[in-house]
Amino acid sequence: MATLLQQLINGLVLGAAIALIALGYTMVYGIIQLINFAHGEVFMVGGFASLATYSYVLPDSWKSDWYLALPLMAVGGALVAVVLAVIMERFAYRPLRNAPRLAPLITALGVSVVLKEAVRLWYPGATAPVPYPRAFVDKQFSVEAFGGRITIGSTALLMIAVSLIGAVVLQTYISRSRMGRAMRATAQDPDTARLMGVNPNRTIVLTFAIGAALAGIAGVLYGIHYTNVDTEVGFLYGIFAFTAAVLGGVGSIKGAVIGGFAIGLIKSLAGQYLPGGTSYDLVWIFILLIVVLVFRPQGLFGEPERVRA
Amino acid sequence: MTATPVLSASNVSMVFGGLTALSEVSLQLHEGQILGLIGPNGAGKTTFFNCLTGLYTPTRGTVTLRGRTLPSDPAAVTVAGIARTFQNIRLFPSMTALENVMVGRHSRMKQGPLASLFHGPAYRKGEADARARSLELLDFVGLTGLDDELARNLPYGDQRRLEIARALATDPAVLLLDEPTAGMNPQETEAARQLIFAIRETGVAVVVIEHDTKFIFSLCDHVSVLVQGQLLVEGAPEVVRGDPRVIEAYLGKPPDEVEAEVRQYAEEAGRPSAAESTMVIPPVRERDGGSEGGNR
């Protein structure tokens, strides 16, 4: 029983990270129907950028105070991620906006490889996992319960809290604000939105930027929780997040969050209880994806695809 | 009229590949005017609208709004003061009626992406003003109380009116209506006519594309007839109505045979509420070339 609870907690933490990344996938797909395979790498770059902020930017006297260091790392990671996403949109995707869908998809794969290799080549020591500083927020909360010990770290709580708050803020932003309405209008009918005075480029860039900011923050949280970051996580978490977005229904914020947590939970529970253990946990995730897509192709919360007039 | 026109198109031509959809079309719209644009299917009416809204850049010719050349980007054209509705309704189906109108308000609001995140007092005031103005416009077009309804759930006639409210939310100087009464019954058509008169009262000049000549002749101050991409005749409704070239090009019948029919339309048009079924102009019979390039 204690093991079950512990695995539930582990799953929620993993799911929170996936959910934060999935939000970016789902928003970008919602607005320009692009599966941005490079989004996972944006998350990875966010992790490295916040580490760089810590290692090369912060004065030594601030490093031990987590309440100074952590927000600044988050800002550094998010900022680099946003700049990267904006450049990516401007130079890789925008020229292909009216091209057949396969072209931007392949471009996204290309961008993904470029980013991963660039970090591997140029970030000092990135050919192997790079350790994150452990000096701060490593407090653990433990409870003796159900004949065992359940531990949850403060980084884990932070990850779950940020993910949920991020999703709620984003949902409110999209449903209530001026730019949020512009994003939804552009997603539903870009030409008409343009004719109503909505600048499509500005709206699309904003969508990429918001997604990247969330991925960048996920990068920092991932780093401090798992205490290292390496160039491979972008691809792996990109796939998880993509699956989460599809599972929840691409275009749906709620779907991305629930999909993210579902995948996190399945991975940790299946790794513990199902035959094959952790070597087969990915198999169960994709079996679930297939089952959902067979019975509900639009995902759990997605709107059925409409044929555009 | 010698005043500067609000909207002026001079010698606008639009060529798609080898197909000339518009050839040297000129048109002037003055303050407070309702201008009708009629013509058989494929005459280039919608293509012309697309040229006026920046969706197409004319191959030749210029369009000016209050003396200034239009920008080539549709969003910028809307900001400059031209708004439109569509032949096939193009609302944002998964947004509510109010949200649709508020999207129209977008370009007149100031809040940037970060202001909306921090919810300052200026942001809240801007949002409240936009909301109030949008509700007012819903009232104006007769959709009071339907603000929370999803656009796709509204009945057809209400969707057309919602499109008008959304277009008006952009504070246009010129409103382009592409077949505003298509598919409407006589009562709805009459309501649309009254609505367009009311829009003119607010100081917006209107251009209407319609197939229903009775509607056009009873509504407009000025009528332009487009046939095969060319401006055939223009002038006051009484003049256009009786022009034999219009009757021939439009109806493909010998003029005298049609004249009585046209006179009958005109008489009926005088009555405020026509109970008879609306007459719709049949397409040109002999010449079937030219597709409606602008239909999207």
pLDDT in tens, A33-81: 888 999 999 999 999 999 999 999 988 888 878 888 899 999 999 999 9
Could you report the per-residue pLDDT of B214-259, keeping only the tens digit for each? Answer: 899 999 999 999 988 899 889 998 888 888 888 777 666 555 555 6
The helix-helix angle for A2-32 and A253-273 (nearest 10°) equals: 150
- Report the pLDDT value the prediction gives residue B117, as an integer from 0 to 100: 73
* Encoded tokens for A260: 């993210």
The secondary structure of residue B63, as a DSSP letter, is E
The helix-helix angle for B97-105 and A178-188 (nearest 10°) equals: 110
Same domain, B152 and B180: no
Say yes or no: A170 contacts chain B, CB-CB below 8 A.
Answer: no
Number of domains in chain B: 2
CB contact under 8 Å between A177 and B103, yes or no, is no
Say yes or no: A184 contacts chain B, CB-CB below 8 A.
Answer: yes
Could you report the per-residue pLDDT of B69-112, keeping only the tens digit for each? Answer: 998 889 999 999 999 999 999 999 999 999 999 999 999 988 77
Residue pairs between chains A and B whose CB atoms are closer than 8 Å: 94
- Report the pLDDT value the prediction gives residue A126, as an integer from 0 to 100: 84
Residue ranges making up the domain that contains B108:
95-168
Distance from B169 to chain A by nearest Cα, in Å? 9
* Mean predicted confidence (pLDDT) in A200-208: 95
Distance from B127 to chain A by nearest Cα, in Å? 8
Residues ≥6 apart with Cβ < 8 Å to B136: none
Q: What ipTM, to 2 d.p.?
A: 0.86
* Mean predicted confidence (pLDDT) in A89-93: 95
Say yes or no: A308 contacts chain B, CB-CB below 8 A.
Answer: no
Q: Domain A2-295: state its class.
A: mainly alpha
* Mean predicted confidence (pLDDT) in A271-287: 86
pLDDT-based confidence at residue B288 (cuts at 50, 70, 90): very low
B88 contacts on A by Cβ (under 8 Å): 309
* CB A80 within 8 Å of CB A49: yes
pLDDT-based confidence at residue A87 (cuts at 50, 70, 90): very high
Asked which of B141-155, B165-179, B227-241 is least confident by mean pLDDT, the reply is: B227-241
Residue B164 falls inside a structural domain: yes
Distance, in Å, from the CA atom of B288 to the CA atom of A307, rounded to the nearest integer, reads 29
* CB B44 within 8 Å of CB B58: no
- Report the pLDDT value the prediction gives residue A297, as an integer from 0 to 100: 86
Final residue before a domain boundary, out of B134, B168, B202: B168
Best mutation site among A196, A198, A205, A252 for testing chain B: the one with the most B CBs within 10 Å?
A196
Distance, in Å, from the CA atom of A46 to the CA atom of A172, rounded to the nearest integer, reads 24
Strand pairing category for B19-29 and B7-16: antiparallel
String of DSSP letters for B7-42: EEEEEEEEEETTEEEEEEEEEEE-TT-EEEEE--TT
- Report the pLDDT value the prediction gives residue B60, as an integer from 0 to 100: 92
Residues ≥6 apart with Cβ < 8 Å to B177: B84, B85, B164, B196, B206, B207, B208, B209
Say yes or no: B79 contacts chain A, CB-CB below 8 A.
Answer: yes
Say yes or no: B166 contacts chain A, CB-CB below 8 A.
Answer: yes
Final residue before a domain boundary, out of B116, B141, B168: B168
Residue B90 falls inside a structural domain: no
Same domain, B206 and B62: yes
Of B55, B106, B117, the CB nearest to A196: B106
* CB B91 within 8 Å of CB B54: no
The enclosing H or E element of A67 equals helix A66-88
Long-range contacts of A31-34 (CB under 8 A, 24+ apart): A31/A183, A31/A186, A31/A187, A31/A203, A31/A204, A31/A207, A32/A93, A32/A97, A32/A204, A32/A207, A33/A101, A34/A93, A34/A101, A34/A104, A34/A105, A34/A108
- Report the pLDDT value the prediction gives residue B262, as an integer from 0 to 100: 65
For chain A, the structural domain boundaries read: 2-295
* Mean predicted confidence (pLDDT) in B166-170: 96
Q: Kindly identify which residue of chain B lies nearest to residue A197, measuring between CA atoms.
A: B75
Q: What is the pTM for the complete model shown? A: 0.86
- Report the pLDDT value the prediction gives residue A306, as an integer from 0 to 100: 47
Residue B88 falls inside a structural domain: no
CB contact under 8 Å between B103 and A303, yes or no, is no
Phi and psi torsions of B275, nearest 5° = -85, -25
- Report the pLDDT value the prediction gives residue A267, as an integer from 0 to 100: 93
Residue B189 falls inside a structural domain: yes
Task: Classify B254 as helix, strand or coil.
Answer: coil
Q: Kindly identify which residue of chain B lies nearest to residue A171, measuring between CA atoms.
A: B117
Distance, in Å, from the CA atom of A289 to the CA atom of B234, rounded to the nearest integer, reads 63
Distance from A179 to chain B by nearest Cα, in Å? 6
* CB B288 within 8 Å of CB B40: no
* Encoded tokens for A59: 């004065």
B92 contacts on A by Cβ (under 8 Å): 184-185, 188-189, 192-193
- Report the pLDDT value the prediction gives residue A221, as an integer from 0 to 100: 94
Strand pairing category for B34-38 and B222-227: parallel
Best mutation site among B92, B114, B118, B134 for testing chain A: the one with the most A CBs within 10 Å?
B92
Could you report the per-residue pLDDT of A156-172, keeping only the tens digit for each? Answer: 999 999 999 999 999 99
- Report the pLDDT value the prediction gives residue B253, as an integer from 0 to 100: 56
Best mutation site among A174, A178, A201, A210 for testing chain B: the one with the most B CBs within 10 Å?
A178
Same domain, B7 and B151: no
**Given phi > 0 = left and psi -120 to 50 = alpha, else beta, which region is B282?**
beta
Interface of A with B in 203-222 (CB under 8 A): 206, 209
Distance, in Å, from the CA atom of A272 to the CA atom of B250, rounded to the nearest integer, reads 78
- Report the pLDDT value the prediction gives residue B278, as an integer from 0 to 100: 46
What is the average pLDDT score of chain A? 90
Residue B87 falls inside a structural domain: no
* CB A46 within 8 Å of CB A132: no
Q: What is the C-alpha radius of gyration for chain A, rounded to an integer number of angstroms?
A: 19
What is the average pLDDT score of chain B? 84
Same domain, B71 and B200: yes
Say yes or no: A307 contacts chain B, CB-CB below 8 A.
Answer: no
Cβ atoms within 10 Å, residue A172: 15
Say yes or no: B173 contacts chain A, CB-CB below 8 A.
Answer: no
- Report the pLDDT value the prediction gives residue B244, as an integer from 0 to 100: 83
Distance from A45 to chain B by nearest Cα, in Å? 23
* Encoded tokens for B263: 């006179």
* CB B179 within 8 Å of CB B87: yes
CB contact under 8 Å between B95 and A185, yes or no, is yes
Residue B86 falls inside a structural domain: no
Residue in the structure block whose two tokens are 């970008």: A28
In the predicted model, is pLDDT for residue B291 greater than 50?
no
Residue B262 falls inside a structural domain: yes
- Report the pLDDT value the prediction gives residue B202, as an integer from 0 to 100: 95
Long-range contacts of A116-125 (CB under 8 A, 24+ apart): A116/A41, A116/A44, A116/A231, A116/A232, A116/A234, A116/A235, A119/A44, A119/A45, A119/A48, A119/A231, A120/A231, A123/A48, A123/A52
**Given phi > 0 = left and psi -120 to 50 = alpha, else beta, which region is A131?**
beta
- Report the pLDDT value the prediction gives residue A149, as an integer from 0 to 100: 82
- Report the pLDDT value the prediction gives residue A1, as an integer from 0 to 100: 75
* CB B245 within 8 Å of CB B235: no
Distance from B288 to chain A by nearest Cα, in Å? 24
Identity of the residue numbered B91: L
Share of chain A above pLDDT 70, in %: 97
Identity of the residue numbered A165: I
CB contact under 8 Å between A179 and B53, yes or no, is no
Distance, in Å, from the CA atom of A93 to the CA atom of A211, rounded to the nearest integer, reads 15
Say yes or no: A194 contacts chain B, CB-CB below 8 A.
Answer: yes
- Report the pLDDT value the prediction gives residue A127, as an integer from 0 to 100: 87
Same domain, B74 and B179: yes
The enclosing H or E element of B178 equals strand B174-178
Final residue before a domain boundary, out of B120, B153, B168: B168
The enclosing H or E element of A295 equals helix A281-295
Same domain, B163 and B176: no
Same domain, B213 and B271: yes
In the predicted model, is pLDDT for residue A255 greater than 60?
yes
CB contact under 8 Å between A189 and B92, yes or no, is yes
Say yes or no: A20 contacts chain B, CB-CB below 8 A.
Answer: no
Same domain, B200 and B295: yes
The secondary structure of residue B66, as a DSSP letter, is T
Specify the CATH number for the domain of residue B190.
Answer: 3.40.50.300
- Report the pLDDT value the prediction gives residue A164, as an integer from 0 to 100: 96
In the predicted model, is pLDDT for residue A308 greater than 50?
no
Residues ≥6 apart with Cβ < 8 Å to A113: none
* CB B75 within 8 Å of CB B107: yes
- Report the pLDDT value the prediction gives residue B286, as an integer from 0 to 100: 42
B177 contacts on A by Cβ (under 8 Å): none
